[in-house]
Amino acid sequence: YKTLRLILGDQLNPSHSWFKSKEDDVLYLIAELKQETNYVKHHVQKLCAFFNAMENFATALKSAGFNVLHLTLDDTHEDKHLPALLNRVAKEYNCSCIEYLYPDEFRLKSQLADFEKSSEINVSAYDSEHFLLPFSEIKDRFKKDKHVTMEHFYRAMRKRYDLLMEDDKPAGGKWNYDCNNRNKFSKQDLKSIPEPKLFKNDVSHILARLKKHNIAYFGEIKEGKLEWSTSRKQAKESLEYFCEHLLVNFGKFQDAMTDQSKDNTSLYHSRLSFALNTKLLHPLYVIKRVISEFEQRPDEISLSQVEGFTRQILGWREYVRAVYWVNMPDYATKNQLKANNKLPQYFWDGNTKMNCLSHSLKQSLDTAYAHHIQRLMIIGNFCLLSGINPNEVDNWYLGVYIDAIEWVEMPNTRGMSQFADDGIIATKPYAASGNYVNKMSDYCKNCQYDVKQKVGDKACPLNSLYWRFMQTHREKLEKNPRIGMVYRNWDKQSDELREDTLNQATHYINNIESL
């Protein structure tokens, strides 16, 4: 073969221009590699989902007539790292040039750029043709260490792609319908949540390989059957299912949480993040499909559901990627609140008396999934209030979630949820007391703690931890006009109550493992 073309595990983009024509002298390489399994400790479902999706993509390419070399850990366990593998395969197949697609992670991008510089054979890189904001434009719209308002960016993207627009005005007259999206589930609502779309992909052969090669992981896969979509066909089925059954209430219950829906962890969410992040689905394809469903069923589906969904993908997803690239590698070390506590042990088994946290952790550990508000306002909020070191928080999120790839995980975790990035993403911390959890979920009803109490044995830990957090960072946060009111409420309380609250928080922090 003349050319070796590398396809990484999150570059399974069937519409890429590489696949527009077949050339006999091109060999595509898709390889399981130890270096991709151990940069953090991963959930086994994440490892199996990536390897299974790579396997399916290799099979699909082969049956479409492309030359594909699909290597498993059995074939690559002696290759120290990706460059070593590329050199070996290029030599073995007599390739005179190597081509790759720009990786989306800093770690891999640097590794391949170094390889390109030092390689004796000709190496070239191409765009992955997935994102809606071209990489070359990131630096024009975003600046290192500077906050860009997501809403402005999102509006520009709506105009650019002419999505939900009526001429140059937003459809329905408003850009953002978030205020319609703040409902909690009633008992009646809970009865009518549709089943999630789950698959039964047999990954027992991958599990056996992980064991054979001593790959460290956590979590389980029940009966060796993976529930995530790992092929383009399945990803499209998930999208169709979302359009047919879930979109109608997506926005309405976007922030709602419950522990009463045991087998349904994703509620009205789409479960599309893995398919999007591996590039099995293109973001524009997903958005347009959702808008077309709205156009076909205008009486059932409201604009606010569709606008909310579009904003997540066209807005947030593209925005966090830009923030990542413009700020890396410094972003990975940001810790503006100097949070240095250790992640408690219950992050690995969910055994805490706090029901909100226990439910969200157990669900994450069981299914490699939590929806946005569980990630942000339950798990993230707890870490923020308890001052957990953002490196530990990042590593946990990067390991546990099915869709966690650093470019999207890190800005969301370190930035949005931990406020560790000097306010590059969020203009104020997403900090909340038990009151918020009680408003948006039914967690507090089944909790050993009392959400109404700040002080005492039964007091909800989030209440005092919230005030401790606000006090600790008062100097920094008080200047923010959106937070000033909070301090006025605090100052109105009696000295005794304030002191007791802070003492309670100190007690909880000192005994964080037994919360």
Q: By the criterion CB under 6 A, which residues form the site for ligand FAD?
A: 266, 269-273, 276-277, 312-313, 316-317, 320, 371-372, 375-376, 380, 397, 401, 403-404, 408-409, 412-413, 416-417
* Closer residue to ligand FAD (CB): 404 or 470: 404
**Least distance CB 405 / ligand FAD (angstroms):** 6
Q: How far is the CB of 393 from ligand FAD (least distance, A)?
A: 8
Rounded to 10 degrees, what is the CA torsion of 488, 493, 495, 500?
A: -110
The binder of 451, among ligand FAD, ligand SF4, none, by C-beta within 5 to 8 A per type, is ligand SF4
Asked if the bond preceding 329 is cis, omega within 30° of 0, the reply is yes
Q: Count other C-beta atoms under 10 Å from residue 300's C-beta.
A: 11
CB of 359 to ligand SF4, least distance (A): 8
- Contact criterion met (CB below 8 Å) for 398 and 450: no
Give the separation between CA 65 and CA 259, rounded to whole angstroms. 48
355 binds, among ligand FAD, ligand SF4, none (CB under 5 to 8 A by kind): ligand SF4
354-373 residues in contact with ligand SF4 (CB under 6 A) are: 354-356
Q: How far is the CB of 178 from ligand FAD (least distance, A)?
A: 13
Please check whether residue 54 is in contact with residue 61, taking contact to mean a CB–CB distance below 8 angstroms.
no
Within 13 Å, how many C-alpha atoms sit on residue 16's CB side?
Answer: 25
Please provide the DSSP assignment of 285-329 as one string. HHHHHHHHHHHH-TTTS-HHHHHHHHIIIIIIIHHHHHHHHHHTT
Site map (CB under 6 A) of ligand SF4, residues 450-489, x = contact: -x--------xxx---------------------------
Contacts to ligand SF4 from residues 422-441, by CB under 6 A? 434, 437-438
What 3 state SS string does 368-382 have?
A: CCCCHHHHHHHHHHH
Q: Name residue, tokens 């007391």.
A: 433
Least separation in angstroms between residue 267's CB and ligand SF4 is: 18
CB atoms within 10 A of CB 71: 17
Count the alpha carbons within 13 Å of 285 in the hemisphere toward its beta carbon.
18
Q: How far apart are CA 247 and CA 347, in angstroms?
A: 32
**Contacted entry of ligand FAD, ligand SF4, none for residue 317, CB cut-off 5 to 8 Å set by kind:** ligand FAD
| Calpha distance 492→73 (Å, rounded) | 62
Interface pick for ligand SF4 out of 328, 447, 455, 465 (rule CB under 6 A): 447
The partner in contact with residue 416, picked from ligand FAD, ligand SF4, none with C-beta cut-offs of 5 to 8 angstroms by kind, is: ligand FAD
**Minimum CB distance to ligand FAD smaller for 50 or for 316:** 316
- What SS3 state is found at 226? strand
Sign of CA dihedral 216, 220, 221, 226: negative
Beta carbon nearer to ligand FAD, 279 or 375: 375
Specify the residue, 248 or 462, whose C-beta has the smaller distance to ligand SF4.
462
Our CB check for ligand SF4 shows the closer of 154 and 466 to be 466
Nearer to ligand SF4, 26 or 385 (CB): 385
Q: Residue 7 or 376: which CB sits closer to ligand FAD? A: 376
- The continuous run of DSSP H or E covering 201 comes out as strand 201-202
Return residues touching ligand SF4 (CB under 6 A).
354-356, 434, 437-438, 443-444, 447, 449, 451, 460-462
